[in-house]
Amino acid sequence: MVHTLPSGRGRPAFSLVELLVVIAIVGVLVALLLPAVQSAREAARRTTCSNNIRQLALSLLAYESSQGRLPAATLVESGTNTTACVGCWNPWDEAGQGSAAYAASHKAGGTSWVLEILPHIDQTSIANQWNWLTNVRGNAAVAQTDIAGFYCPSRRSGVRSADDNSMLLDSSWVGGGIDYAGCYGQLDGFHDDATTEQHRFVHRGSNPQVLGGPFRANTGVTLAAIRDGQTNQILLAEAQRLPVTTAAAESAKSQDGWAVGGAATLFTTVSAAINDGHFESAGSEHSGGATIALADGSVRFLSDSINSTVYPLLGSMADGQIASIEQANQ
């Protein structure tokens, strides 16, 4: 028996017009989906950032509970005098001196508050490697250690480029950055050096004991000294990282590095704004604002359109004017 194939037309192919329509539909669907995916990723990164700063805040509270005070903002020689900045501290200079110069000067080392809380964030091994007989440069290998919780994932996961390196104590360093800083208060605390990035600082202002924040050079303050209330006091915030590279703009350049005291690990509320392009201010790469931690350990998000009258009050811990995050974000 002879079998024959059934007659009839084969499956019709897509025409060019139909193919183009399908491609267009797929393109529209991808265009609709991509922002949602990006938004979900940023929400996850922002949650991680909130967790990072919360852990730092809880570590500071645990430190205060065990030591009876918060850590000093920096350990630095008191009252370095220059023509431009009388009575200023310069942790950047002390931290960066070579071993011979440091040994001869017998200075404090220019270290930051972060070093003191390392055991409270499960970094005891790093803390144990620190040699307190020298300064930050003398501990360069340890100071370059990347600690994941010190980076906001919306900004970076480590030191990213030549621009980031330029903000570190030594431009050849490849790690050791930090995206969070302690609140120095409602003080014009830093001197804007015209041609250097040293950013010497001092308790400038009419009454530093009133306008200052929870971090002070060479001494720690108690939580009980926050007379305006822990729920109304900013303890930590994301810090701006502005890698200005032109000599004329060095005064606006950020410092970076978790081991270094001063502008690298402090911010102020004196400018009454965040994300304002100044190294002294809080800021982030989240859309619309920055994450902060209050002195009660809670974490909040500050809007870029923050109330410029209320925000500075959240930085000073004894000004007698009660201000809240809710008021600031209105």
pLDDT tens-digit map of 94-130: 999 998 888 777 778 899 999 999 999 999 999 999 9
Average pLDDT in the 226-244 region? 91
Percentage above 70 pLDDT, the chain: 85
Q: Residue 11 domain-assigned?
A: no
pLDDT tens-digit map of 29-51: 777 776 666 677 888 999 999 99
List, in order, residues 6 or more apart from 183 with CB less than 8 Å away: 213, 214, 215, 233, 234, 235, 236, 237, 266, 267, 268, 269, 315
Range 316-327 burial, b when 16+ CB lie within 10 A, else e:
bbbbeeebebeb
The whole model's pTM is what? 0.86
Q: Residue 208 domain-assigned?
A: yes
Contact between residue 61 and residue 121 where contact means Cβ atoms under 8 Å apart: no
Percentage above 90 pLDDT, the chain: 51
Q: Residue 195 domain-assigned?
A: yes
Average pLDDT in the 170-192 region? 90
pLDDT tens-digit map of 257-305: 999 999 999 999 988 889 988 888 999 999 999 999 999 999 999 999 8
Residue 31: per-residue pLDDT: 74
Residue 37: per-residue pLDDT: 64
Can you tell me the distance from the alpha carbon of 229 to that of 81, in angstroms, rounded to the nearest whole number?
35
Q: Residue 7 domain-assigned?
A: no
Residue 284: per-residue pLDDT: 95
Range of 136's domain?
16-328
Band (pLDDT 50/70/90 cuts) for residue 148 is very high
Band (pLDDT 50/70/90 cuts) for residue 247 is very low
pLDDT tens-digit map of 74-104: 998 866 666 666 778 889 989 999 988 887 7
**What is the residue-averaged pLDDT of the chain?**
85
Residue 150: per-residue pLDDT: 98
Q: Residue 1 domain-assigned?
A: no
Average pLDDT in the 319-325 region? 81
Kindly tell me if the per-residue pLDDT of 14 is higher than 50. yes
Residue 195: per-residue pLDDT: 55
Q: Residue 8 domain-assigned?
A: no
126, two tokens: 């790093």
Q: How far is CA 8 from the centre of its chain?
A: 72
List, in order, residues 6 or more apart from 211 with CB less than 8 Å away: 185, 186, 187, 205, 316, 319
Residue 325: per-residue pLDDT: 80
Residue 11: per-residue pLDDT: 60
Kindly tell me if the per-residue pLDDT of 326 is higher than 50. yes
Q: Residue 136 domain-assigned?
A: yes
Q: Residue 10 domain-assigned?
A: no
Band (pLDDT 50/70/90 cuts) for residue 320 is confident
Determine how many CB atoms are found less than 10 A away from the CB of residue 162: 10
Average pLDDT in the 176-189 region? 92
Count: domains in the chain: 1
